[in-house]
């Protein structure tokens, strides 16, 4: 089992920044591909970003490329999502996830999920 807890969400104006954190506990964090997904009301959960177990490779949805940065610290069992130049369409509940399937762009690539953190971007 891997337990995941997200934090760092909140309300921000368009153009602002937020940094989300995902703290992991349980099994060896460095064994897992980690990802961020988001889900807006009435919409399906969508891929945001993923990072390989070593952190050597990352992948982003086109909608966030150049604005968001995913990173991880295996020594601290933590993954981050730095979100800059936020837009109202980024408003959603953001989830972190752990899995062992690449490329990590689909929800079914992941086994463990956090409870989510709300991000609201006002115009």
36/106 Cα distance (integer angstroms): 10
pLDDT value at 68 more than 90: yes
pLDDT of residue 73: 97
Please say whether the beta carbons of 54 and 73 come within 8 A.
Answer: no
Rounded to an integer, the average pLDDT of 38-62 is: 97
pLDDT of residue 26: 84
CB-CB neighbours of 102 under 10 Å: 13
pLDDT of residue 46: 97
Residue labelled with tokens 């050597």: 56
The model's pLDDT over 79-95, given as tens digits with 9 standing for 90+, comes to 999 999 999 999 999 99
Rounded to an integer, the average pLDDT of 20-39 is: 95
119/91 Cα distance (integer angstroms): 5
pLDDT value at 55 more than 90: yes
Distance of CA 99 to the CA centre of its chain: 13
Tokens for 57?
């490779």
Closest listed residue to residue 49, CA positions, set 28, 20, 23:
20
Q: Are strands 33-39 and 46-51 parallel, antiparallel or unpaired?
A: antiparallel
pLDDT of residue 1: 87
Q: Where are the alpha helices (DSSP H) in the chain?
A: none
Closest listed residue to residue 119, CA positions, set 36, 24, 3, 34:
36
């Amino acid at each position: 089992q891997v337990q995941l807890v997200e934090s760092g969400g909140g309300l921000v104006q368009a153009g602002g920044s937020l940094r989300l954190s995902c703290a992991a506990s349980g099994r060896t964090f460095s064994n897992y591909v980690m990802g961020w997904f988001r889900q807006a009301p009435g919409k399906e959960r969508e891929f945001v970003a993923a990072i390989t177990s070593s952190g050597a490779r990352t992948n982003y949805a086109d909608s966030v490329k150049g604005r968001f940065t995913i990173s991880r610290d295996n020594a601290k069992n933590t993954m981050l999502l730095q979100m800059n130049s936020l837009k109202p369409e980024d408003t959603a509940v953001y989830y972190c996830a752990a899995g062992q399937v690449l490329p990590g762009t689909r929800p079914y690539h992941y086994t463990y999920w956090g409870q989510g953190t709300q991000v609201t971007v006002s115009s």
